[in-house]
Amino acid sequence: MNRFNSVLLVICILLFNNPLHAEKGGKLKLWYDKPASNWNEALPVGNGRLGAMIYGDPANEKIQLNEETFWSGGPSRNDNPDALKALPEVRQLIFDGKYHEAEKMVNENMVTDLHGSMYQVVGNLNLSFPGHENYTGYYRELDIEKAVFTTTYQVDGVTYTREIFASQPDQVIAIRLTADQPGKITLRAGMDGALQKSIKTLDNHTIEMTGLSGTHEGVTGQVKFNARSKFIAKGGSTSTEANKIKVEDANEVVILISIATNFLDYKTLTADEAEKCAGFLQKAENKSFEEIKGSHIAAYQNYFKRVSLDLGTSEAANQPTDVRIRDFSQNHDPELVSLYFQFGRYLLISSSQPGGQPANLQGIWNESTHPAWDSKYTININTEMNYWPAEKCNLPEMHEPLIQMVKELSESGRQTAQTMYGARGWGTHHNTDIWRISGVVDGAFWGMWPMGGAWLSQHLWEKYLYNGDTEYLETVYPVLKSACLFYQDFLIEEPTNNWLVVSPSVSPENAPAGRPSICAGATMDNQILFDLFTNTIKAAELLGKDKALTKEFRKIKDRLPPMQIGKHGQLQEWMEDLDSPDDKHRHVSHLYGLHPSNQISPYSSPELFDAARTTLNHRGDVSTGWSMGWKVNFWARLLDGNHAMKLIKDQLTLVGGESNRGGGGTYPNFLDAHPPFQIDGNFGCTAGIAEMLLQSHDGAIHFLPALPDDWENGKISGLRTPGGFEVSFNWKNGEVQQIEINSNLGGNCRIRVPNAMEFADNNSLSPATGENNNPFFDTPDIKEPLISERANLNPVNLTPTNLYDIQTEKGKTYTLIKRK
Return residues touching ligand FUC (CB under 6 A).
361, 373, 378, 382, 509, 586-587, 624, 626, 674, 678
Q: What is the closest distance, in whole angstroms, from the C-beta atom of residue 650 to ligand FUC in the complex?
A: 16
| Nearer residue to ligand FUC within complex by CB, 588 or 701 | 588
CB-CB neighbours of 555 under 10 Å: 12
Phi, psi of 714 (to 5 degrees): 175, 175
Q: What is the closest distance, in whole angstroms, from the C-beta atom of residue 361 to ligand FUC in the complex?
A: 6
The span from the CA of 781 to the CA of 237, in Å, is 73
| Nearer residue to ligand FUC within complex by CB, 109 or 386 | 386
| Nearer residue to ligand FUC within complex by CB, 378 or 526 | 378
Phi, psi of 74 (to 5 degrees): -170, -175
DSSP letter, residue 789? T
Which SS3 state, helix, strand or coil, does residue 44 take? strand
Q: What is the closest distance, in whole angstroms, from the C-beta atom of residue 636 to ligand FUC in the complex?
A: 21
| Nearer residue to ligand FUC within complex by CB, 360 or 416 | 360
> Cα-Cα-Cα-Cα dihedral of 322, 325, 330, 334, to 10°?
120
My answer on whether omega of the bond before 785 falls inside 30° of 0, hence cis, is: no
| Nearer residue to ligand FUC within complex by CB, 230 or 586 | 586
| Nearer residue to ligand FUC within complex by CB, 191 or 519 | 519
Q: What is the closest distance, in whole angstroms, from the C-beta atom of residue 678 to ligand FUC in the complex?
A: 6
| Nearer residue to ligand FUC within complex by CB, 68 or 805 | 68
Q: What is the closest distance, in whole angstroms, from the C-beta atom of residue 748 to ligand FUC in the complex?
A: 40
The span from the CA of 625 to the CA of 608, in Å, is 26
| Nearer residue to ligand FUC within complex by CB, 458 or 678 | 678
DSSP letter, residue 394? T
Phi, psi of 364 (to 5 degrees): -135, 5
Distance (Å) of CA 176 to CA 151, 257, 381, 805: 11, 12, 40, 54
Q: What is the closest distance, in whole angstroms, from the C-beta atom of residue 628 to ligand FUC in the complex?
A: 12
Distance (Å) of CA 756 to CA 434, 450, 800: 51, 47, 11
| Nearer residue to ligand FUC within complex by CB, 206 or 378 | 378
Q: What is the closest distance, in whole angstroms, from the C-beta atom of residue 586 to ligand FUC in the complex?
A: 5
Q: What is the closest distance, in whole angstroms, from the C-beta atom of residue 122 to ligand FUC in the complex?
A: 22
Q: What is the closest distance, in whole angstroms, from the C-beta atom of residue 588 to ligand FUC in the complex?
A: 11
The span from the CA of 426 to the CA of 407, in Å, is 10
| Nearer residue to ligand FUC within complex by CB, 509 or 583 | 509
Q: At what angle do helices 396-421 and 83-95 cross, to 10 degrees?
A: 90
Q: What is the closest distance, in whole angstroms, from the C-beta atom of residue 389 to ligand FUC in the complex?
A: 18
Residue 607 CA, chain-centre distance (Å), reads 32
Q: What is the closest distance, in whole angstroms, from the C-beta atom of residue 387 to ligand FUC in the complex?
A: 16
| Residue 56 CB partners (closer than 8 Å, separation 6+) | 32, 35, 36, 42, 43, 140, 149, 151, 162
Distance from first CA to last CA of the chain, Å, rounded? 71
Distance (Å) of CA 612 to CA 136, 501, 526, 597, 638: 54, 22, 16, 13, 8
Distance (Å) of CA 433 to CA 29, 52, 105, 106: 33, 21, 25, 22
| Nearer residue to ligand FUC within complex by CB, 569 or 676 | 676
Q: What is the closest distance, in whole angstroms, from the C-beta atom of residue 627 to ligand FUC in the complex?
A: 7
Q: Which among 141, 172, 161, 139 is positioned nearest to 46, based on CA atoms? A: 172
Q: Which among 111, 626, 681, 118 is positioned nearest to 373, based on CA atoms? A: 118
**In terms of DSSP H, where are the helices of 491-594?**
523-543, 547-558
| Nearer residue to ligand FUC within complex by CB, 126 or 360 | 360
